Every structure is written in C-alpha cells, then in structure tokens.
Chain A
C-alpha cells in the first residue's frame, strides 16, 4: 500500500503570512494532485503535477513535485481568510492507475 504523509496536520496563521504544506512518501507516484475541501463539500482539484521537478503556480499558490516524484509541496503566499480549508494531496499508483491514495490532510485556518 502506498502511503502519503502530510505535514503539518493543522496550521493556524494570520492573514498575510506565508505557509508551506508538505506531502511525502517513500513510493514513486506517476502523478500527484492537490485538492481543497470545504466543510460539507467534496474535495475540489487545485492542480496536478506529473513531471519530476515540476513547479506550477496558481495565483498565490505554488506547487512543486519532487525530482524523484515521491514528494510535493504547496506554498501559499500572503494567505487570506478565503484560503481556509482542508488541503489534501493525492497520488495515483505507479503500477496501478486505478488506485488512488490520499494524504491525511492539512487543516488550514487563516485568521483576519
């Protein structure tokens, strides 16, 4: 079973601060995705990274896929209260495309 470990589990910061969330594994993933989930709703995709070393930017969010495709990070610049939510990383099996593994999630609270 492939495992994804996210850190930190909880993060509470003030508006305007920067933060980084990490997603680590001992397994190689063919691709890795980041989702954001709000209370009472299903997760919504933010980004998919496929190539080792890839960096993608989505406004104030920067996503990086590790060179060995075993880890990823999500960096938020100048966090806003609207960024509050549960952030989940998910990886697709390198040998079984149907298997999807999610990390435990990082609960982010941005205080105004």
Chain B
C-alpha cells in the first residue's frame, strides 16, 4: 500500500531534550516536505527536499533541522525543543514539486513541556 508513515504519532517531552520525528514514504517520490499545523494558522512549511541531499528552508525553519540521505526517509530533528514547538506535525511527499499531489502522513502530535 502506498503510504507516508511518521513515528512517533504522539510525543510528550521536556524543553531541551533532543528528538527526532521520522518520516518514510514507499512511493519513490523525489519531493518531501515537513509542515506544522497550529489552530487558526493552517499548515506552515518547515523544510522541504527536492531530492536526495537537496533540502531547503520553508517559511518557519527556526529550531528545526532535516536531512535527506535516502530517497524514502526525511527525518525532522529538534535539537533543543521549546514549548513554542508544541504542534501537530505532518510529513508529505509527492512525485515532484510544483502542483503535484502531496501525500500526507498521519501526523505527529508533539507537546514540549
């Protein structure tokens, strides 16, 4: 089954404790992206990747890191999480960037205390 998976689905952590949210897709998509969703703010793009080893900042990259060493995986790293990073995070992938259907993962709800 074609899908985007994220782990963990739920995470409660404390300020400053490094964490990684994994994202994997099995559709051989070149483009992957991370978003955060907050009430009343819609989805805001954090980082995106056009292909392996090619990443770029979205609209809200501060406090986040990403890597794209393999085509299928695009982990989101929070080196020192802060409470303002409490949010619902979505990973998405598409065949290519620009107008192609983005397939979203189920989301990761992160709470930073």
Contacts and interface: CB of A to CB of B under 8 A. Distances in A.
Q: Do A and B come from the same complex?
A: yes
Given A92-B97, A97-B98, A43 B56 contact: no
A43 B45 contact: no
Nearest to B9: A40
Interface in B90-113: 90, 92, 96-102, 104-107
Contact of A45 (B56, B102, B106): B102
Contacts of A43: 43, 90, 102, 104
Interface string A54-97: 00000000000000000000000000000000001010110001
Interface stretch (B13-21, B33-41, B76-84): B33-41
Contact of B98 (A1, A31, A104): A31
Q: Which of A30, A44, A98, A101 is most buried by chain B, counting CB atoms within 10 A of its CB?
A: A98
A104 B41 CA distance: 5
B99 A31 contact: yes
B107 A41 contact: yes
Contacts of B44: 102
Interface residues of B, number: 28
Chain A residues touching B, range: 20 to 34
Given A99-B58, A103-B42, A45 B101 contact: yes
A40 B33 CA distance: 19
Interface of A: 1, 6, 9, 30-31, 33, 40-45, 48, 50, 88, 90, 92-93, 97-105
Interface of B: 4, 31, 33, 35, 40-45, 48, 50, 56, 58-59, 90, 92, 96-102, 104-107
Q: Which 5 A-B pairs have the closest CB atoms?
A: A42-B104, A97-B98, A31-B99, A102-B43, A104-B42
Given A41-B107, A97-B98, A98-B97, 6 more contacts: A30-B98, A92-B97, A97-B99, A101-B45, A102-B35, A105-B42
